[in-house]
Structure 1
């Protein structure tokens, strides 16, 4: 990885923890001690990537973006115990890791969205935490094929399944929980974040959403004189650009054209640029970018885990290089906006439980627009299966065709499918893991609407975390303000049953941005579609992709039949439904080839820096 790629590991205040630090210190720039003098945090980071403070023996470190200051952090840990620190930090704006050492205990967490994660592993008799699994995974570790086959599911099923670490012996800390290292070095987890109860109407909630989004953008601008942001023309990225223009940072907007002349994103992006005269605007022609599916036969940047959107790996790196050339080191994108503000049909089921006639009337609009059959819609509205049983039943349709928009789905679980080229053993393995998860599964919220919305946020955060590693390889940090914990909580506080309207597009975001984004942009009712880019890239790079099906690592593991994948790549392709399966398989395959030629992603033995400094 590049020398500027940050990482950190957290060590218990024990002799075993101090011994484990020795394997990490040679490649660390910083070693931060406990009050006892033993190593607490070791790693590599820039001065603008962490805020640290202490109050007596208590110490706190915030890695990431927030508007809180050193003085704020000192007050948070002053005179506090772990429970008090958790309460005081619950609503901090931004996206970050928090690490606290207090009276021999350590409390550490990432973000509820999964954008920032923690992993743990036994290293030399000590439980060590790290923000990247490869930091604490030895070069000789083996890949867990059970977790790997779950990555072939499309769409991903649940966070419990898709968030597993792919290295045996290294385990994730669940997204909404903190890791607590006790005085003796043992670890437990503590849930610090739960979806809030929906206690606000849309009218009452929009002001809070506007404030939360403004604070999220301000958290990125707080330590950077220049920031950049995507300006696709869609509501999500456009809103962030206008919010960023209100900060004191220099703003650079970035847009790339689609190969599809029918995509009208460009027209709305042009309207936004005209309304942002003080920003600098970069517009890249599609002909100046690698086509989708380019360069998958070459080794790319080392990633913690497979990239879900493998089709855009080369394109993404080129975007990041161009953005870095503008002088920006922090880039904002609109990921998470769809997950939070679209898909409100899922609340029909919740509304049906309260007001069945009103729900049926609302459902008529979706039926008319999406051609939902009446009987299938009524069955979905009346379904009362629990979450665990729904998850277990998902194993019955893993090999079914992907569902279409004309098929209503108001259930707990995304109708997830395995690609048709998985082997029977891989199918059975995935089904067994899903059934095992169902024995202890619990929904993320009490009702289906907020559960599915938060699940979509987690899936988005987990994917964006890996995409951000691609940006980091070019020297730019990719951030997604919509995935900030406070933003997510603020949106989930709004009663979604009042937004089941197929004729209003993202009503909460539209109302929240009413005084920020020009009205001619907020009247847009279309959404850009990029299947033309996928078709063009697949056609151009078909020969290369077929070469990847030769001597497949996934085939060696007995998980994939290469002939089936080859048939899918060759086509014919009458629609884009199979692209997700193709790219998830190729993403895993290219990742396996990468890790076979190198140590695990970000493994300390791969880091070349030896300079160390001790932080106060």
Structure 2
């Protein structure tokens, strides 16, 4: 695990070692253990890294070259099947210099060319220099677990695991990418290939980019399978899932340093810990987080469930109860994120990562289980719409009108139920694609257009729906999630927040073999009779009790909506004040004021929308205004004081 970066010059100027070092210095948190660089003869290309040593800590220094120094590689992440690949390559006569997983990339490329990526099971981004062909090849893993940013100009092509490293390049300054603004407001994150910084784009998941003879080529090497297997019985699926999860977790436990697991007491994290316990001769170290405070905080406190699972599985359990200094955290965390995000899970992920990093260097997480096995409430939309459509149309219209008048808030049990009912009834008459969009959106496209004073257009969800298969409705949603929210929200914040504290976070439920298995499961079995994750829960029934398997789902977020009305209210009102909005020049101040007023009066749950706007303003102060996190933090704290 590390951060990689590099540069290819089109203009014949040599790559400066000091420039590569500057790119590495700003991402030192990703790899505090080691650093290295290689500049090709003639200086046309340079590749470099910062290393967090996990596999072969003593001998895995990067960049790594082959025997004749013709091929050089840097890699961020882990190749989980490297031991099998290494044995196969040694049988074919390949000689290894190190015990590192990264070195297998060199020999696979030498034997198979660009097709070598099809042999890899892992989370990674890499850069490979082929001296004979004078060719640079960079790539990203199939699901997009590890991010990779690219800048291209007439004179150079730069790449880095974090966007802030590219801002060290000459001629590139931090400017807002206005083309990404509508998607961000609509979805709460910036979908690839866009980033929030002009001139910097994300390399999409499962994508390779090659530079050779001054020409740049980019192509997709993998897509989520769309064929549904309707011949396999339910009992057979249960066994295949049980075996697949166990194998995936076992693969991802490979480490030469201490390892642990996040444990919320939910199905996904509990499944991961249960599989880990089966393959360990000592108790698994598990880590959980809860919040101090009132009713809103209690709704997000899953410590009793985590404690119960820890007891059942015999883990060495660690938990922390926090009342976080959110004002002090936001500028620092948004600096690490590189771009704004409206998902408050980035705060929780950082806090529990910081806690776990005191003991371990590698952590396993349950991220991805909801997408694979049908765990989100939004996946029940079609199920309940079919029931609703049995009612007369006039009664459905009446229910929708009444629902529109209901109060909305997610931080009280009653108001949260009303919020969900209001959202469902308001979207029940829409097409399946638009209904799904309504569940995902932070702000509807009409409000975004009013905010930005521009016409609504196509977006990342349109493109993802167009590319998704239509044989199975639930797997169609899975395909859309895998192209959008999963890599560009959940996985991005997981990577950035864990690496902010130099912690490697692995996501075994997104193991490539398990993902391809899950993509073939029919909707009727993934979610059966309204039971989310039916097959996955059946596969875990001999390990976890019903009160854990079937308890109500709670996301890995924070009581942000309540904080925006209480502790953060002065900060919110100042950051979104009319004069601030006008000076920034991005939004209609009247629309912003209405959103704030509607949230405070519980006429709508504006948590995500207001967090999106507030975080964008904080991010702008950091990146566009060039201020330090400490400076912005001091200003925000003065508002509360």
Give the shorter-chain TM-score range: 0.7 to 0.9
From 411, 415, 424, the equivalent of 1:405 is 424
Matches within 5 A, 1:40-79: 40-48=46-54, 52=64, 54=66, 57-69=70-82, 72=85, 75=89
TM-fit CA distance, 1:589: 1.4
Structure 2: segments with no counterpart, 5+ residues:
25-34, 90-103, 397-419, 630-641
- Cα deviation for residue 152 of structure 1 reads 0.7
Give 1:357's aligned residue: none
CA–CA separation in structure 2 for the residues paired with 1:440 and 1:460 = 12
CA drift at 1:491: 1.1
User: What is the aligned residue count?
Assistant: 549
Deviation at 1:27, TM superposition (A): 5.3
Alpha-carbon deviations, 1:290-331, whole Å to 9, x = none?
Answer: 27x544675546234334246466554433332222x11222
From the superposition, tell whether residues 307 and 402 of structure 1 become closer, same or farther in structure 2 (CA, over 3 Å): farther
| Change beyond 3 A, Cα 1:510–1:130 | same
Residue pair 2:122, 2:141 contacting (<8 A) in 1 also = no
For 2:23 and 2:561, the matched residues in 1 are separated by 43
Evaluate the alpha carbon distance shift between residue 204 and residue 88 of structure 1 in structure 2; reply closer, same or farther with a 3 A threshold.
Answer: farther
Question: How far does residue 375 in structure 1 lie from its aligned partner after superposition?
Answer: 6.4
Q: Is the 8 A contact 2:269 2:365 kept in 1?
A: yes
Cα RMSD for the two superposed structures: 4.3
C-alpha distance in structure 2 between counterparts of 1:488 and 1:439, whole Å: 21
In structure 2, which of residues 343, 356, 374 is the aligned counterpart of residue 342 of structure 1? 374
The aligned counterpart of 2:274 is: 242
- Indicate whether 1:477 and 2:504 are aligned: yes
1:154 aligned residue: 187
Partner of 1:321: 354
Aligned-pair distance for 1:193?
A: 0.7
Q: Does 1:284 align with 2:314?
A: no
For 2:148 and 2:390, the matched residues in 1 are separated by 41
Where do 1:172-187 residues align within 5 Å? 172-182=202-212, 184-187=213-216
CA contact (8 A) 1:228 1:328 kept: yes
CA contact (8 A) 1:93 1:219 kept: no
Does the 8 Å CA contact 2:368/2:510 hold for their aligned counterparts?
A: yes
Q: Which moved more, 1:574-583 or 1:140-149?
A: 574-583
> Could you tell me how far apart the structure 1 residues matched to 2:331 and 2:106 are?
51
- Map residues 509-528 of structure 1 onto 2, 5 A cutoff: 509-514=536-541, 517-520=543-546, 523-528=549-554
Distance 1:296 1:489, change over 3 A: same
Aligned 1:564-583 pairs, distance under 5 A = 564-570=591-597, 571-574=599-602, 577-583=605-611
Asked whether the equivalents of residues 195 and 492 of structure 1 are also in contact (C-alpha less than 8 Å), the reply is yes
Distance in 2 (CA, whole Å) between partners of 1:549 and 1:595 is 18
Q: Are the aligned partners of 2:357 and 2:503 in contact in 1 as well (CA < 8 Å)?
A: yes
Which of 588, 591, 595 aligns to 2:619? It is 591
Q: Secondary structure at the match of 1:221?
A: coil
CA separation in 2, counterparts of 1:62 and 1:531?
Answer: 31
Q: Tell me if structure 1 keeps the 8 A contact 2:495–2:505.
A: yes
For residue 227 of structure 1, what is the aligned residue in structure 2? 259
Q: Distance in 2 between matches of 1:348 and 1:562?
A: 37
Q: How far 1:229 sits from its partner (Å)? A: 2.0
The 1-side partners of 2:493 and 2:386 are apart by 37
**Higher RCO by CA contacts (8 Å cutoff, separation 6 or greater):** 1
Alignment partner of 1:90: what SS?
Answer: helix
Distance 1:48 1:542, change over 3 A: same
What is the distance in 2 between the residues matched to 1:114 and 1:530?
20
Following superposition, the deviation at residue 151 of structure 1 comes to 0.6
Q: Secondary structure at the match of 2:423?
A: coil
* Alignment partners' CA distance in 2, 1:39 and 1:587: 36
Q: 1:231 to 1:366 in 2, by over 3 A?
A: farther
Tell me how far apart the structure 2 counterparts of residues 450 and 23 of structure 1 sit (CA, whole Å). Answer: 45
Q: 1:486 to 1:540 in 2, by over 3 A?
A: same
Match in the other structure for 1:274: 311
Give distance in 1, aligned partners of 2:628 and 2:143.
24
Q: Secondary structure at the match of 2:187?
A: coil
Measured after TM superposition, the shift of residue 240 of structure 1 is 1.2
Residue pair 1:121, 1:128 contacting (<8 A) in 2 also: yes
Is the contact made by 1:418 and 1:427 (CA closer than 8 Å) also made in structure 2? no
Q: Which residue of 2 aligns with 1:144?
A: 177
2:338 is matched with: 305
Q: Secondary structure at the match of 2:352?
A: helix
Change (3 A) 1:67 1:273: same
What does 1:300-449 align with in structure 2 at a 5 Å threshold?
300=333, 302-309=335-342, 311=344, 315-325=348-358, 327-342=359-374, 367-368=386-387, 404-406=423-425, 407-408=427-428, 410-411=432-433, 414-415=437-438, 416=441, 417-418=443-444, 424=450, 426-428=452-454, 431-432=456-457, 434=459, 442-445=466-469, 447=471, 448-449=473-474
Contact 2:260 2:362 in 1 (8 A): yes
Deviation by residue 1:90-122 (Cα, 9 ceiling, x = unmatched): 253331224444442333221233322322223
Aligned partners of 1:228 and 1:253 also within 8 Å: yes
Q: 2:481 aligns with which of 456, 468, 472?
A: 456
Does residue 190 (structure 1) correspond to residue 216 (structure 2)? The answer is no
State the TM-score, normalized to the length of structure 2.
0.72
Q: Deviations over 1:7-49 (max 9, x none)?
A: 2124459884842665214554311355999755212123327
Q: Distance in 2 between matches of 1:427 and 1:372?
A: 40
5+ residue gaps, structure 1, are 350-362, 379-400, 602-616
